[in-house]
A = this chain, B = another copy of it.
Amino acid sequence: MRILASNDDGIHARGMRILVGCLTALGDVFIVAPDRQRSATGLSITMHRPLRVKKVKIPGFKVTGWAVDGTPADCIKLAIEDLLEGPPDLVVSGINLGPNLGNDILYSGTVSAAIEGAINGFPALAVSLASYSSEDYSGASIFLKNFLPVLAKGGLRPGTLLNINVPATERPCGVKITRLGSRRYVNIFEKRVDPRGRLYYWLAGEPVEPEDGAVETDVEAVKNNYISITPLQLDLTDYKAFDWLKHLTEAEKLL
């Protein structure tokens, strides 16, 4: 099996080494990842300047990596188009330091690398450690080593796109299949004054605790110390809105 690994914390992030450690038993691993921290870049791609690629060794592993001075989505595109000789069987992005839950996934470079894999027709996973403070990847590592062979046996097809969040503990309570919840923030920007007396804004924000009714969501699962697996699909069409839109527009002169 050929596995393409990427992330958004950069190729030298600890989460990448942990991930590679989980993947090498499964097959040939190819790493194509940003050369630096590229968090919150969403599915951003680089169109207005060229991209550079540099071969990188990952300490402790024989796999070769390519560091790209672009976004996670750039990395996946470049890997598939040029760097890998032949298509991957699986794309895995992570392990991100920090949760990627609810509607936040659209901001996430980690999830976007998996989305880019899925857009290109490959099964893809995004894996995140649901903590900013602890770097305990032990539960995530045990889970991935068990789950990936199961998935390889029964679940790798085009369109398989999973967003996985693992609590930062050696012993999560279990695994839940979840839907995307909602993440809301307060105090989104800090407004400050620079040394020259000019105003600037810095994105901050604290997540608001989810409402109690949000059952079966990724947010709730992780809060209760479960591993969350959310299956994703990329057709954002709101089919339920077709009828009212047709009704709204059909009798009107719009042109």
B-binding residues in A (CB < 8 A): 37, 39-48, 50-53, 71, 73-74, 77-78, 81-82, 103, 105-107, 112, 115, 119, 139, 142-143, 146-147, 150-151, 154-155, 160-162, 171-172, 174-175, 177, 179-180, 188-189, 191-192, 194, 198-203, 227, 229-242, 244-246, 248-249, 252-255
Contact = CB atoms under 8 A, between A and B. Distances in A.
A62 to B, nearest CB: 24
A74 B203 contact: yes
Contacts of A227: 254-255
A103 to B, nearest CB: 5
23 contacts: A41-B42, A42-B43, A42-B73, A43-B43, A47-B203, A50-B201, A51-B189, A105-B236, A106-B112, A106-B119, A106-B234, A139-B255, A143-B255, A146-B252, A151-B248, A174-B255, A177-B246, A180-B235, A180-B236, A230-B237, A231-B237, A233-B238, A233-B241
Nearest to A204: B47
Contacts of A160: 241
